[in-house]
């Protein structure tokens, strides 16, 4: 049995975020930094700058006017939002070199991006300001499984099969067979990367949002987005009954479960374009 922290540490050299994210994070965390500092840092990576402009101008944000420069994007979105977007547009590249014999990376990122889109939409219909910030939290919802498949591939695959066969909670099966589950591992990876606390806590407590302290809203939204995403991922040949949502998450967000089908349809229409920013290789799969 291994702890989540031990698993993350064992593959820390494999899962390292690009230098541009670290640089951006340092600027955002420095109270003396300015918008110009962030703009100048981003301009050093033309590829990242191009992807940022594409995603800022996509339907995800629905801005009334075209954003044609990084400096305008930074001033319009704010430093934290831009930092989150840099994370979103670089995370896919972080895992391109991992052993992928037992996991379909393209399918993984399609599901993760769908969850990210749904998280933003759930926040938006709930009247939450800056609902786009929940995009990254949804994107990271399942990230722990990439660590599990890298470090304990056979156990991770067996847990997936057993949970599906028995109709059991995947997290419970992982706890029993591995010693930790994907939520713990994902949260530890996010903490290792020094990403913001709301992202870590949303992933860590997505299955028990009531335990998320100051981040109950974040965890609740990731829980609800994950519920819809898992439904969409079911075998189309099966009777696809909606799984129940956590009562606390529903109450805390005032989310109406009847809205799930329309939100899923909306997110699916944006999936291909958004994938091109996060993991373009999935488009060819």
pLDDT by residue, tens only, the chain of 285 residues: 789 999 999 887 778 888 888 899 999 999 999 999 999 999 988 888 888 888 888 877 777 788 899 999 898 888 988 888 888 888 887 776 665 566 788 899 999 999 999 999 999 999 988 787 899 999 999 999 999 998 998 999 999 999 988 888 999 999 999 999 999 999 999 999 988 899 999 999 999 999 999 999 999 999 999 999 999 987 554 557 888 999 999 999 999 999 999 999 999 999 998 888 888 877 765
pTM over 0.75: yes
Q: What pLDDT does residue 237 have? A: 46
**3-class state of residue 216 by DSSP:** helix
Dist. CA 221–CA 225, nearest whole Å:
6
Residue 70 C-beta-side C-alpha neighbours within 13 Å = 22
The domain limits of the chain are 4-284
Dist. CA 197–CA 148, nearest whole Å:
22
Q: What pLDDT does residue 148 have? A: 93
Comparing C-alpha atoms, which of 196, 95, 201, 198 is closest to residue 148? 95
Q: What pLDDT does residue 97 have? A: 63
**3-class state of residue 168 by DSSP:** coil
φ and ψ at 196, to 5 degrees? Answer: -55, 145
- Reported CATH class of domain 4-284: mainly alpha
């Amino acid at each position: 049995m291994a702890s989540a922290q031990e698993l993350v540490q064992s593959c820390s050299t494999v899962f390292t975020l690009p230098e541009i994210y670290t640089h951006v994070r340092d600027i955002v965390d420095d109270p003396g930094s300015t918008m110009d500092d962030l703009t100048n840092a981003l301009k050093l990576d033309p590829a990242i700058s191009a992807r940022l402009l594409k995603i800022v101008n996509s339907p995800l944000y629905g801005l009334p006017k075209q954003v044609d420069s990084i400096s305008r994007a930074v001033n319009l979105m704010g430093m934290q939002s831009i930092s989150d977007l840099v994370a979103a547009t670089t995370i896919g590249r972080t895992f391109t070199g991992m052993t992928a014999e037992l996991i379909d990376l393209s399918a993984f990122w399609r599901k993760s991006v769908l969850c990210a889109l749904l998280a933003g939409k759930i926040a938006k219909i709930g009247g939450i300001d800056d609902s786009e910030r929940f995009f990254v939290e949804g994107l990271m919802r399942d990230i722990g499984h990439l660590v599990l498949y890298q470090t304990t591939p056979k156990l991770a695959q067996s847990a997936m099969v057993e949970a599906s066969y028995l109709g059991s909670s995947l997290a419970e099966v992982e706890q029993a067979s591995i010693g930790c589950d994907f939520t713990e591992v994902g949260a530890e990876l996010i903490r290792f990367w020094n990403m913001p606390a709301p992202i870590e806590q949303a992933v860590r407590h997505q299955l028990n949002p009531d335990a998320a302290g100051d981040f109950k809203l974040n965890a609740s939204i990731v829980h609800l987005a994950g519920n819809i995403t898992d439904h969409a991922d079911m075998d189309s040949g099966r009777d696809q009954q909606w799984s129940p949502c956590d009562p606390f998450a529903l109450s805390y967000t005032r989310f109406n479960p009847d809205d799930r089908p329309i939100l899923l349809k909306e997110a699916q229409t944006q999936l291909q374009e958004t994938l091109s920013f996060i993991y373009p290789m999935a488009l060819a799969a």
